[in-house]
Structure 1
Amino acid sequence: MQAKDIMTVNVISVSEGSSIHEVVGLLLKYRISAVPVVNSAREVVGIVSEGDLLRPEGASSAGTRRPWWLEAIFAGQTVTYEKAQGRTAGLVMTRNVITVDESTPLNEIAELLERHHIKRVPVLSDGRIVGIVSRANLLHGLADTIVDHHEPGAAKDRQLRHELIKILLDEHKLDTVFVNVTVSDGNVRLWGVVENADEAKAAEAAAKAMAGVKSVENNLGPGPMSGVPI
């Protein structure tokens, strides 16, 4: 399997000019630990993680000075909305971003995450972000039967996955930030969180109705919209 077979395609991202208030809001809303920073061409120019937000501006990870907002808390001050709005993603982001392309094998992605102690990696195509692979996505891929994706069936699996994600997004209005799909030899697995049991059943029915699908394993469940942890 490759990155394109398991990646989350509906990537939450921000621009360099996005405020810290906006970044924090996205991390909390989608329960994710980092967000890519992209330019107008969808090229990745950085990434803002929880660690970046906890690190003071201009300080190294080994620095002892607290971030401005923690200083305010310990000093008993109130952090104003205007001050939060004045900080931007471009000021706190990590610029040297580890990335992969769509054809990167899962074992190489796993090694990258382990070697660099990161939780997720953006997926690029022609220099533009097209997805993101998290540790959870890797587990979804490993749960599938391992097949040689150089075989003719691999292209069919990828097409099925692409079409099903589009159906879930366009026709069923599911937030694909919270739902992942893997396909192996025509066998579909659905992963993630939906708002209710009816949505889970509708997604399963949509998958079963597709030509070429041999079976559907439905791991979707209702619950708080916590997303795919990255």
Structure 2
Amino acid sequence: MLIQDIMTPAPVTVKMSAPIAEAAKLLLDKHLSGLPVVDGKGVVVGIISEGDFLRRGELKTERQRSALLEFFVSPGRLAQEYAHANGRLVEEVMTSPVKTISPFSSISEAVDVMERESIKRLPVVDGGKLVGIVTRSDLLRALAGILATTAEPCGDAEIEARIADELGKRSWSENGFIHVNVRDGIAELSGSIFDERERLAAKVLAENVPGVKAVTDHLTWIDPYSGIAISMP
């Protein structure tokens, strides 16, 4: 699945020269949490979000430090914080430079960037032109659509084979100690595990195979050090 398949096209933007009051009103009126910021040519130059309005002089929420702590903060950092908390124009408080992504990138790439940069949204740019924005909500909508998809019916033998095949692909279960038997769509897990975390992973794996109605757990945990076997009640 590509970014162009899940992005929000033609996103609402704000100009870098606009007053922050305009950006705040857009966020409230459009029920958005962030806006791409564009220059006079429509090129994305930053992002302004709800987080940029948390530390504001008008709200008396500017960052406060003791004199001792402030001694260890560089004058440049203090000046930057002052400008951000008291700026009147979007360009003075926006986050810049901004990370962007291509509409032909995979959603996996977007998630990697969001996690690495600790950000919630990515402007989608094609040939220097803003064509959309992808947010965590877009990813959630894509997931919800996939989860709502009805699986094609299949027989117990096919379900069993698929579960066994998936177990064989995972490093934590490829040893073949986890077995599965499927009857009337109910997957019964048996065999041995050597780490309790493998129990939940095996259950989740089976649940995700199309046609599985429920999973029963008869796995036995074996302590790798003592060799003691403990079965679930």
Q: TM-score, normalised by structure 1?
A: 0.50
Larger radius of gyration: 2
User: Which structure has more RCO (C-alpha within 8 Å, separation ≥ 6)?
Assistant: 1
